[in-house]
Amino acid sequence: MKSRANLSPFVAVFASWAPKLHAHYHGALRKVENKTGAKRYFPGSAFAAATVNLGPAVCTFVHRDMKNLAYGMCAITALGKFDHKKGGHLILWDAKLIIEFPAGSTIFIPSATLSHSNVPIQSGERRASFTQYSAGGLFRWVDNQFKTDIQLQRAPAAYRRILAERAGGWTRGLAMLPTLQELVANV
């Protein structure tokens, strides 16, 4: 239990730098816990899921995590023993950035909407990664009063109401992201 708890405190940065979005994530998980009795893998974490990529030389191709919450964040942590000056860099393609990403580093990115990958490491080195995220479908299920879209369609009035609420979802989601002024105020 202790080993999995060692990486979880890094996500406290999420609450500090994107408090509205963090509250949205945390609130959705609290509703799921209350409805289903399910427990979080990391007590207190706002993320619903985590993946450990063990390698031995983890490297990803250019991708977007399309099933994650579109306006949400994903926490990526690099692990292993590798020379971060020669490999393991994180590439954010849409932003045209290549970032040195040493072992032990954590970054938060909107992985559903931002194309990303990483550079291979040198022969004989080891690299793993640990990611934390939440699927967009989980938030939709909560917003649908714990029903799938297909189940909700069986109640036409409720379905129309939910669809009307969804119409402004992207705008509401973007409003949860911090502004430049809010980020500067946190420094």
Q: Quote the tokens at residue 143.
A: 């917003």
Domains in the chain: ranges and CATH: 2-185 (2.60.120)
DSSP category for residue 140: H
The Cα 42–Cα 48 span in angstroms is 9
Share of the chain above pLDDT 70, in %: 94
Strands 106-109 and 116-118: what pairing?
unpaired
Pick 24 or 55 by higher pLDDT.
Answer: 24
Residue 59 has pLDDT above 90, yes or no: yes
pLDDT band at 3 (very low <50, low <70, confident <90, very high): very low
The answer to whether 116 and 90 have CB atoms below 8 angstroms apart is yes
Residue 12: the pLDDT is: 78
Whether the predicted model's global pTM rises above the 0.85 cut: yes
Strands 74-81 and 106-109: what pairing?
antiparallel
pLDDT band at 184 (very low <50, low <70, confident <90, very high): confident
Residue 90, amino acid: L
Residue 1: the pLDDT is: 38
